[in-house]
Chains A and B, each alone.
Chain A
Amino acid sequence: AQSVTQLDSQVPVFEEAPVELRCNYSSSVSVYLFWYVQYPNQGLQLLLKYLSGSTLVKGINGFEAEFNKSQTSFHLRKPSVHISDTAEYFCAVSGATNFGNEKLTFGTGTRLTIIP
């Protein structure tokens, strides 16, 4: 089984400043990693995902994340945030096995607030 820890429940950031949202995972097998974003009163939508290959993954809206196997981390970054980035961000992990029955495990979320 896998688990995900999002170390910060809330992150306030000034507009146009950089941001990093932290995610660490635990797994006994190889993993797939995801970041989802949830805007107020909406469902979740995929920001980016790591399946294999390059450890630096670029997503929508200028976000990127880096898979670090030795640190078991998948931190999300953006060099300059905008008011419209205010949302809750969820890190998620699933096992990368060939069984096809691995389920997605979500972290508890990080609420990003952009300060004008």
Chain B
Amino acid sequence: NAGVTQTPKFQVLKTGQSMTLQCAQDMNHNSMYWYRQDPGMGLRLIYYSASEGTTDKGEVPNGYNVSRLNKREFSLRLESAAPSQTSVYFCASSPGQQETQYFGPGTRLLVL
């Protein structure tokens, strides 16, 4: 039981490049989330998926897109990376939206 896994662990991009962050959970959870963590700002919700087949914007969705590929997988895409997207990205999942969230180990992204 791996919990929530994220790939890659680290990534360096140049401004304008695109990439997809992958997230998978093996706990049969309905809800999945993408957060970014920046110093002094806590965690901010980018997008979430309440259940398979649905996605919704969070607090900071601009510059990102998501895909809930199936119940297990929820990917985050940066179409044209900007230095302001340098951050640590966390994926999380929960049985339902108001229940305990379980977090992945994070992806550290640097955009030059």
Question: Which of A's residues lie within 8 Å of B, judged by CB?
Answer: 9, 32, 34, 36, 41-46, 49, 90, 94-96, 100-104, 106-109
Contacts and interface: CB of A to CB of B under 8 A. Distances in A.
Interface in B55-100: 58, 90, 92, 96-98, 100
Contacts of A109: 42
B101 A104 contact: yes
Contacts of A42: 105-106
B98 A106 contact: no
Q: Residue among A34, A43, A101 with the most chain B CB within 10 A?
A: A43
A46 B43 CA distance: 14
B4 interface: yes
Interface residues of B, number: 22
Contacts of A102: 97-98
